[in-house]
Amino acid sequence: MKHLLDMGHLDAMQIHHLLDLTDHMVEINQRPMPKVPALRGKTVVNLFFEDSTRTRTSFDTAARRLSADVMNFAVSSSSVNKGESLRDTIETITAMGVDAFVVRHASSGAPHQITQWTTASIVNAGDGWHQHPTQALLDCYTIRTRLNRTTGFDGLHIAIVGDIKHSRVARSDVQAFNALGARVTLVAPPTLLPPDISTWPVEVSHDLDGLIGSLDVLYLLRMQRERMRDALVPSLREYTTLYGLTPARAARLQEHALVMHPGPMNRGVEMAVDPAELPGSTVLHQVANGVAVRMAVLFELLGSGGEMTADTAADSPDPSQAGPRS
C-alpha cells in the first residue's frame, strides 16, 4: 500500500488488516508513555487547503506518537486554482525530503493528482464531496469494537442520515460498510441525495421513524447551514423534525444500537439530544479511534515492510546512526 486515496480501492481483507493494526495502536495509546519510535526520522507534511483543526490535529497526534516529524503547511486557498503552481509546490516540498503528504482539498481528485508529482505517500484527508477514507476506517473500527464484530458486519443494519449528496463521509462509509457485509440504508430528503444514487449498494428511505427501531447503527451526518441558503432544506427546524435525533426517536433505539457522528455536531439540529446522555453514543470514541486508525495508516504506508515488531517500536539507540567524521 503506497497511498490511501479512496475506500473503493480497499477490499475487506485490506480493511481488516488495517483494523487489526489499529488494535495495536490502541494498545500503545493506553500505555503510560503512548509513544513509539516506529517512524522516527520520517517526515509527514499536513497540506490542508481547507481548514480543519480537528482532522489536522488527529493526524498530527498520530504522527507524533509514532515519532515522525510533522510539518504543517498553511495553504492560502488562492493557490488552489493554479495547477502548475501546486505542482511546483509539491515537487519543492518533496525535494526537501518528505515521506508522506496528508492532503485535504476542496476539489475531488486533488490527492490523486498529487500522486503524479511526488515520490511520497499521499493520505487523502478529505477531497471535496469525494472521499474521506480515514473517517470510514475509524467508523468501521468503532463499530467493530463497540459491537464486537471482529470478523465482519454481516447482519448489521446501518442507517446514514442527512446530507448524503454533499458528503464525502457518506461515500466512504457506504463503501466500507458494504465491503464488510453490512446492510446500509440512506435516509435523506430527495434534494440531499446524489443523482446517481440508484447505482450505490444501498437502500434509500425518507422515513426515519419507520426504521429506527430496527437499526444497529444510526449514523448522523452534519447538517450544514449552507444547505438552507441553497434552498435544499426548507428550515433547520423542519429538518430536525423529520431527520434529527430527537428524544422521542432516541427512546425508540434498540438497547445495543450505536449513535455515530463524524463531528463537529450541530447540537439542536441533527443531534437534538445530548449525546453524553445516550449510552450508545460513540462520538468521543470515534475521535479517540481516529488517532489510532491514522497511526495504523501512517505505519502501513511508511513503516519498513508493514510489520510492527519490537524492533520498530523499541526506543533503543540505533547503531546505524553512527555519524560522519569531518
CA distance 294 to 283: 17
Contacting a copy of itself within 89-148 (CB under 8 A):
91-97
CA atoms within 13 A on the CB side of 144: 23
Contacting a copy of itself within 175-234 (CB under 8 A):
none
Q: Considering only the stretches 153-161, 213-221, 239-247, 257-265, report the one whose residues sit in contact with a copy of itself under the rule CB under 8 A.
A: 257-265
SS3 of 170, please? helix
263 binds a copy of itself (CB under 8 A): yes
Cα 73 from chain centroid? 20
CB of 322 vs a copy of itself, minimal distance in Å: 5
CB of 230 vs a copy of itself, minimal distance in Å: 23
CA distance 183 to 198: 15
Name residues whose C-beta falls within 8 Å of residue 265's C-beta, 6 or more positions apart in sequence.
Answer: 222, 271, 275, 283
Contacting a copy of itself within 37-56 (CB under 8 A):
37-38, 40-41, 43, 53-54
Binder to a copy of itself among 5, 15, 19, 21 (CB under 8 A)? 21
SS3 track for 201-248: CCEEECCHHHHHHHCCEEEECCCCCHHHHCCCCCCHHHHHHHHCECHH
Binder to a copy of itself among 2, 9, 11, 20 (CB under 8 A)? 20
97 C-beta neighbours (distance < 10 Å), count: 10
Q: Considering only the stretches 25-33, 105-113, 220-228, 229-237, report the one whose residues sit in contact with a copy of itself under the rule CB under 8 A.
A: 25-33
* Alpha-carbon dihedral 296, 261, 60, 174, rounded to 10 degrees: 50
CB of 96 vs a copy of itself, minimal distance in Å: 5
The residue written with cell numbers 481548514 in the block is 51
33 binds a copy of itself (CB under 8 A): yes
Cα 173 from chain centroid? 9
27 binds a copy of itself (CB under 8 A): yes
84 binds a copy of itself (CB under 8 A): yes
Q: What DSSP line would sit under 145-156, residue for residue?
A: HHTT-TT--TT-
61 binds a copy of itself (CB under 8 A): yes
CA distance 177 to 166: 19
Tell me the residue type at 7: M
CB of 231 vs a copy of itself, minimal distance in Å: 26
Q: Considering only the stretches 31-39, 103-111, 201-209, 213-221, report the one whose residues sit in contact with a copy of itself under the rule CB under 8 A.
A: 31-39
CB of 128 vs a copy of itself, minimal distance in Å: 24
Contacting a copy of itself within 291-320 (CB under 8 A):
291, 304, 307-318, 320
Name residues whose C-beta falls within 8 Å of residue 279's C-beta, 6 or more positions apart in sequence.
Answer: 255
Q: Which three cell numbers stand for residue 276?
A: 453524553
Q: Considering only the stretches 101-109, 201-209, 210-218, 287-295, report the one whose residues sit in contact with a copy of itself under the rule CB under 8 A.
A: 287-295
CB of 28 vs a copy of itself, minimal distance in Å: 7
CB of 19 vs a copy of itself, minimal distance in Å: 11
What is the binding site for a copy of itself (CB under 8 A)? 20-21, 24, 27-29, 31-38, 40-41, 43, 53-54, 57-58, 60-61, 64, 69, 71, 73-74, 84-85, 88, 91-97, 263-265, 267, 284-285, 287-288, 290-291, 304, 307-318, 320-326
